[in-house]
């Protein structure tokens, strides 16, 4: 009797199964939504009455929309993935032996992260095209900034999964993630900034 695959291989199997289980029509539709949102933002930046004079500052102006688009991608691709297991337990059908929850979570996270990275790359591709269209060149720093954007995507997706496991509801998980990113974090930053100013005046 063959031995069951190890945890790492099971993670890859779950990730592959999760990616194939989702309808490609739905996935492509979600990516299209993100692409349209990115195109609208880039159009506004390219044809704005006042825009930066150098390709570096122009490309840097695209980094602010990433702050909003990455959580949107994480909510679209992660919220349903993490909660579907509580509803259908589809991943268990892939294995004849019991699967650890950590393996399922890691596999689903990996699959969701792949789609989030695809959305980020689509956005950066649009940024590069827009920058080249306006200035005829693309700064090297734009490619470097992809790395922190992907790390940001990992962190936001982790929040989605955390709230998904707590509440077992994709909509609630997405709502709490947006609340943390756009409400709690700015308030915490403001609080820490005030504490720093108060400490400096003492």
pLDDT tens for 143-161 read 889 999 999 999 999 999 9
**pLDDT (average), residues 170-192:** 84
Integer Cα distance of 31 and 160 in angstroms: 18
Domain boundaries, given as residue ranges, for the chain: 7-175
**pLDDT (average), residues 133-146:** 88
pLDDT tens for 89-118 read 554 554 455 677 788 888 889 988 988 888
**pLDDT (average), residues 60-70:** 82
Long-range contacts of 67-72 (CB under 8 A, 24+ apart): 67/152, 69/34, 69/37, 69/38, 69/41, 69/119, 69/120, 69/123, 70/116, 70/119, 70/120, 70/149, 70/152, 70/153, 70/156, 71/156, 71/177, 71/178, 71/181, 71/182, 72/34, 72/37
pLDDT value of position 196: 61
Please, what is the average pLDDT of the chain? Answer: 78
pLDDT tier for residue 19 given thresholds of 50, 70 and 90: low
Asked if 104 contacts 91 with a C-beta cutoff of 8 angstroms, the reply is yes
Residue 181 has pLDDT above 80, yes or no: yes
pLDDT tens for 38-49 read 777 777 677 777
pLDDT value of position 176: 92
**pLDDT (average), residues 50-79:** 83
Asked if 137 contacts 55 with a C-beta cutoff of 8 angstroms, the reply is yes
């Amino acid at each position: 009797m063959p031995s069951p695959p190890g945890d790492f291989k099971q993670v890859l199997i779950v990730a592959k199964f999760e990616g194939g289980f989702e309808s490609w029509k739905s996935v492509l539709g979600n990516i299209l939504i993100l692409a349209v949102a990115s195109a609208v933002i880039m159009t506004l930046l390219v044809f704005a009455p006042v825009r930066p004079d150098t390709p570096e500052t122009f490309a840097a102006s695209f980094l602010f929309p990433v702050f909003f688009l990455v959580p949107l991608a994480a909510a679209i691709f992660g919220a349903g993935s993490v909660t579907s297991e509580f509803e259908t337990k589809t991943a268990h059908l892939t294995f004849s032996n019991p699967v650890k929850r950590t393996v399922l979570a890691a596999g689903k996270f990996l699959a969701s992260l792949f789609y989030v990275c695809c959305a980020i790359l689509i956005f950066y591709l649009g940024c590069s095209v827009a920058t080249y269209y306006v200035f005829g060149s693309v700064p090297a720093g734009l490619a470097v900034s992809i790395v922190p954007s992907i790390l940001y995507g990992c962190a936001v997706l982790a929040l989605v999964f955390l709230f998904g496991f707590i509440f077992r509801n994709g909509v609630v998980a997405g709502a709490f993630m947006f609340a943390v990113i756009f409400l709690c974090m700015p308030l915490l930053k403001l609080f820490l900034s005030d504490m720093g100013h108060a400490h400096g005046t003492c």
